[in-house]
C-alpha cells in the first residue's frame, strides 16, 4: 500500500513526520546516537530484518541525516556517520524521551538517565521559547503563516479560519 | 502485517515512537493543537479516510492523550479534547517543527511562524538541559541505565558495551 505523503504540506512538523515514515527509521537514528556506524551493529542492536535496515539506511542517507563512507577498501565496506542535520535530530529524540519518561514510564522510574557532561548533572530536556527561554505551552503559542507558506492558499476559507486571519488582532486566541 | 512492538523496550524514545505508530497519529494530534475537537473537523482538516481517523482517535484515547466527551445528547455526539499528557505532547511537536524548519524548509523560509504570547516574540523552540539550560548536543550527553532499567539486562555483554559500563569512569566517553 502506498502511503500518503506529507512532504509537501506547508508544515515543518508534517514534513518531519513524513521523513520518519515508520518506527524503524527513528530507531536506526537512535543507534547512531549510541555511536553505532556499521550495518551489522545496527542489525544486532535493533533485531531488525536486513532488507528493512538497508531500506531505512538508504532513506536516511537520501534525506541527508547519515553519510555513507568507505572505511575499508579490500573488500569495500561502508559505515554510516551522522551528518550535521542527523546530529541535530538528537533534539527531537531528547524531546520524545522527556515526554515518554513523564507519561509512559512505570512506577520504577525512567529506564535511562542522561548525564549532561558540561554541567555535571543528570538532566531531562526542556523545550523552551528560543527568545525568552521559558518552557513552551501550546496555549501560549499562536501559529501564523510564515514566509514559506504558499500564498495561493491564503485565500481559502479553511486556511483563514485555521489561522484566525479574519479575527480582531487585539482579541486573537492562541491555539 | 503485524508491526513490531517497541512498547516494552527500556527506552522512553522507543516507547513514544511505538505509541505514534505511523504518520497519521501525530497529525491527528496536530489538529487538536489547532483547536480541532470534532470528528468531521479532523476529517476535513487532514483529508483522512474516516475508518483510519476512527482508529487513530481510538488509539489516542486508549493511550490517554485525548479524552472522548459527549457534547450533545440528542443525538449523542462526541468530541475529543486534549488531556494533560496530550497537551504536553506539544513539546515534541515544537521540537520536530524546529528541526523541520531548519533542515527541510526551502529557500523561501519556514512555512509557519509561532508567536509566543507571554514574551511577545515570534520564536523557535530550543531544546535545553533542564538543569543548566544550555542547548543540548548529543556529544555532551551520556546515557546510563536508570531506575526503570530491567536489572536482568545489566549482565548482558551487549548492554554493558552499549552503556560502557566496564570502562574507566574517569575516561568515559559521551555518545
**For residue A173, which residues of chain B lie inside 8 Å, CB to CB?**
35
Greater confidence (A165 vs B170) lies with: A165
B172 band by pLDDT with thresholds 50, 70 and 90: low
Is the pLDDT at A8 greater than 90? The verdict is no
Is the pLDDT at B175 greater than 60? The verdict is no
A2 band by pLDDT with thresholds 50, 70 and 90: low
Number of H helices, E strands in chain B: 7, 6
C-beta of residue A117 within 8 angstroms of C-beta of residue B174: yes
Express each pLDDT in B73-84 by its tens digit: 999 999 999 999
The pLDDT of residue A22 is 86
**For residue B142, which residues of chain A lie inside 8 Å, CB to CB?**
114-115, 117
Mean pLDDT of the B52-76 span: 96
Greater confidence (A24 vs A22) lies with: A24
| Contacts for A36 with CB less than 8 Å, ≥ 6 apart | A42, A45
Question: How far A79 CA lies from chain B's nearest CA (Å)?
Answer: 17
Using alpha carbons, list the distances in angstroms from residue B67 to B61, B64, B74: 6, 7, 20
Instruction: Extract the C-alpha cell encoding B105.
Output: 524548509
**For residue A145, which residues of chain B lie inside 8 Å, CB to CB?**
111-113
| Interface test with chain B among A128, A145, A153, A174, by most B beta carbons within 10 Å | A128
Instruction: Extract the C-alpha cell encoding B5.
Output: 512492538
Please count the residues of chain B.
175
The pLDDT of residue A173 is 53
Report the residue from B12, B108, B114 with minimal CB separation from A105: B12
Q: List helix spans (H) across A63-156.
A: 84-88, 90-103
Is the pLDDT at B173 greater than 80? The verdict is no
C-beta of residue A28 within 8 angstroms of C-beta of residue A42: yes
pLDDT above 70 as % of chain A: 94
Greater confidence (A79 vs A20) lies with: A79
Amino acid at each position: 500500500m502506498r502511503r500518503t505523503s506529507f512532504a509537501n504540506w506547508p508544515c515543518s512538523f508534517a514534513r518531519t513526520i513524513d521523513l520518519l515514515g515508520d518506527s524503524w527509521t527513528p530507531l536506526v537514528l537512535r543507534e547512531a546516537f549510541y555511536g553505532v556506524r556499521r550495518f551489522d551493529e545496527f542489525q544486532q542492536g535493533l533485531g531488525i530484518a536486513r532488507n528493512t535496515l538497508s531500506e531505512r539506511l538508504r532513506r536516511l542517507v537520501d534525506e541527508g541525516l547519515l553519510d555513507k563512507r568507505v572505511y575499508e577498501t579490500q573488500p569495500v565496506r561502508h559505515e554510516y556517520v551522522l551528518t550535521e542535520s542527523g546530529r541535530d535530530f538528537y533534539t527531537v529524540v531528547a524531546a520524545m524521551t522527556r515526554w515518554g519518561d513523564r507519561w509512559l514510564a512505570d512506577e520504577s522510574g525512567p529506564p535511562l538517565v542522561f548525564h549532561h557532561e558540561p554541567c555535571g548533572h543528570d538532566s531531562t530536556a526542556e523545550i523552551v521559547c528560543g527568545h525568552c527561554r521559558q518552557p513552551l505551552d501550546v496555549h501560549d503559542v499562536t501559529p501564523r503563516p510564515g514566509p514559506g507558506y504558499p500564498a495561493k492558499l491564503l485565500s481559502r476559507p479553511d486556511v483563514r479560519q485555521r489561522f484566525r486571519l479574519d479575527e480582531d488582532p487585539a482579541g486573537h486566541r492562541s491555539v
